Amino acid sequence: MDTTENDTALDEDIPVMVFRLAVDRKWIVRPLKVVGNLLEGWYTQARYEFVPEQQLTEIFAGYRVTAGYALRFKKFLEPRIAHWRAELATKRLTALVATTPQIEPPPMQSILATIPPPKSKRKPTRIPTTVDNLAAALRMEAFIAASPLTQTQFAIQAETTDRTLRSFRATGKIRGDIFTRIAREMGLTREELINSK
């Protein structure tokens, strides 16, 4: 049964079936009408009266009814028909999902590979402006003593002065940029010069 057939059944066939069932079970005694107008405040003591045959001008569900009765009856059933239509749509969707081939999600590793690594929250280590390390000064002094260079020649290669090197040997304090150049001339990194034994 396709969508059009289902909609026709809900809009046309179901109201007819409900009306026939209601007449068969005597939930609706036909042809009756309410005598009076409750909104205007008048009505007779008898709640209903039979409708004369000449007023039964339409056929609905195989029964003769008054003009507009079928339309009013369908309007009365509209909320229930809307509910049935929603149930039918849910069944269709469930069937569609069940018959649709499932797509395998990509492996988690390939998803993670597309995500850039988080930015480091750790601040980069700053080179201190002044290095205070007497042991490094003593290592520099031992290096100069073991090399064929004099202290002045070594100072020139490290782009500093002889006086700066003497001060470093005496106090262990020197500017960071000069310390980096001294380590480079000794064939070490800053960290290796600071941490070497």
Q: What is the pLDDT of residues 115-151, one digit of tens each?
A: 777 776 777 666 668 889 899 999 999 999 998 989 9
Q: pLDDT (tens digit, 9 = 90+) per residue, 50-97? A: 777 788 888 888 888 888 888 888 888 888 888 878 888 888 888 887
Banded model confidence at residue 1, pLDDT cuts 50, 70, 90: very low
CATH entry 1.10.260.40 includes domain 130-195: yes
Query: On the CB side of 16, how many CA atoms lie within 13 Å of its CA?
Result: 12
The length of the chain in residues reads: 197
Question: What is the average pLDDT score of the chain?
Answer: 79
Residue 173 pLDDT exceeds 60:
yes
Distance between CA atoms of residues 107 and 112, nearest Å: 9
Amino acid (one-letter) located at 177: D
The predicted pLDDT at position 124 comes to: 66
What is the pTM (predicted TM-score) of this model? Answer: 0.39
- The closest of 114, 102, 188, 43 to 196, measured between CA atoms, is 188
* Tokens found for residue 166: 């003497």
Query: On the CB side of 3, how many CA atoms lie within 13 Å of its CA?
Result: 5
* Tokens found for residue 181: 């150049």
Domains in the chain: boundaries: 3-97, 130-195
Task: Using the CB atoms, write b or e for 109-121: b if 16+ within 10 Å.
Answer: eeeeeeeeeeeee
